[in-house]
Amino acid sequence: MIPNNTGSAGSRHSARRFSVSGRVQGVWFRDSTRREAERLGITGHAINLDNGDVEVFACGSEEALDALYRWLLHGPPLADVSAVEQSPAQHEALHGFRIG
């Protein structure tokens, strides 16, 4: 696992990359993910992949990343998530959460 970084407030931060499969494009998945990430205090981005998946890169506390993972398992109401893969990633100092 990639070591955690300490944020300015002394909280432990790390990063994860999530790959979400299923009916996750055209169902407001990325925008809903952005709203959930902002609610959890997570920075990063969500992008559509050519294979129909959505990739989410997220930086935040371990607790917030765990909560985002649990949310990604079902996503917004119109989504039909079949799988979520997660892997550790290198933490980046990002501002906000964007969709692409």
Phi, psi of 39 (to 5 degrees): -60, -35
CB atoms within 10 A of CB 40: 18
- Which among 4, 5, 17, 48 is annotated as catalytic? 48
Among residues 11, 4, 1, 9, the alpha carbon closest in space to that of 91 is found at 4
Residue 30 bears catalytic tag:
yes
30, 35, 39, 70: the active-site residue: 30
Is 48 considered catalytic here? yes
Cβ atoms of residues 42 and 64 within 8 Å: yes
Q: Which residues are catalytic?
A: 30, 48
